[in-house]
């Protein structure tokens, strides 16, 4: 069975991620959206929430029955071996993504030569979109409609609002700094 892994921090999943998933999944028998715990990035949303957002986004798209959402911690190559996956699928937006993704693909290939990385170009309507932009919009109360999968938009905002205000932060002109 041809199994692919689409790894990411998904903090949170965006419409761009979902577009790449929906376009890539039909090429594989089993397609695993693997949410990385990624403690090095200190994600805004916890792992359970990120998985839940991804799961609901995927389930809302008809025809993605071969897609499952899972999580992993540690090296991607180890997780891929554990899942018997032979392919990694990643979205590419712009030249700015290329250097990092190229390095990751080569590192992964060096560690496991049987693992091949496939890049899928972002659709033009999402080429500007990133999880970090979504986090910034949510932080400043901007509109994220259409930028994240429709069914999870309000949950992303609510989850952000539920976050405890970090100690040491002060209110300045009405804002928390």
Judged by CB, which is closer to ligand PNS: 50, or 64?
A: 50
| In the complex, minimum distance from the CB of residue 38 to ligand PNS, in angstroms, rounded to a whole number | 5
- Please name which of 102, 12, 18, 19 lies closest in space to residue 50, comparing C-alpha atoms: 12
Site string for ligand PNS, 101-120 (x = CB under 6 A): ---x--x-------------
Site string for ligand PNS, 63-92 (x = CB under 6 A): ------------xx----------------
Judged by CB, which is closer to ligand PNS: 13, or 64?
A: 13
Known catalytic residue: 109? no
Q: Is residue 5 a contact residue for ligand PNS (CB under 6 A)?
A: no
Classify residue 124 as exposed, middle or buried by CB count within 10 Å of its CB (0-12, 13-18, 19+).
Answer: exposed
Known catalytic residue: 24? no
Known catalytic residue: 159? no
151: part of which helix (H) or strand (E)?
A: none
Taking CA atoms, 171 is separated from 25, 90, 177, in Å, by 46, 39, 6
Half-sphere exposure of 106 (CA within 13 A, CB side): 6
Q: Is residue 94 a contact residue for ligand PNS (CB under 6 A)?
A: no
Known catalytic residue: 93? yes
């Amino acid at each position: 069975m041809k199994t692919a892994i689409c790894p990411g921090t998904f903090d949170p999943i965006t419409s761009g991620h979902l577009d790449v998933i929906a376009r890539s999944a039909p090429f594989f028998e089993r397609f695993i959206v693997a949410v990385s715990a990624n403690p090095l990035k200190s994600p805004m949303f916890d792992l359970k929430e990120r998985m839940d957002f991804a799961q609901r986004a995927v389930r809302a798209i008809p025809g993605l029955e071969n897609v499952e959402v899972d999580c992993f911690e540690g090296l991607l190559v180890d997780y891929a071996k554990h899942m018997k996956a032979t392919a990694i699928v990643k979205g590419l937006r712009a030249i700015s993504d290329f250097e990092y993704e190229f390095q990751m693909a080569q590192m992964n290939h060096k560690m496991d030569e049987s693992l091949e990385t496939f890049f899928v170009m972002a659709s033009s309507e999402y080429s500007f979109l990133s999880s970090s932009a979504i986090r910034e919009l949510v932080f400043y109360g901007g509109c994220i409609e259409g930028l994240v999968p429709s069914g999870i938009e309000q949950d992303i905002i609510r989850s952000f609002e539920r976050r405890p205000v970090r100690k040491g932060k002060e209110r300045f002109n009405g804002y928390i700094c």
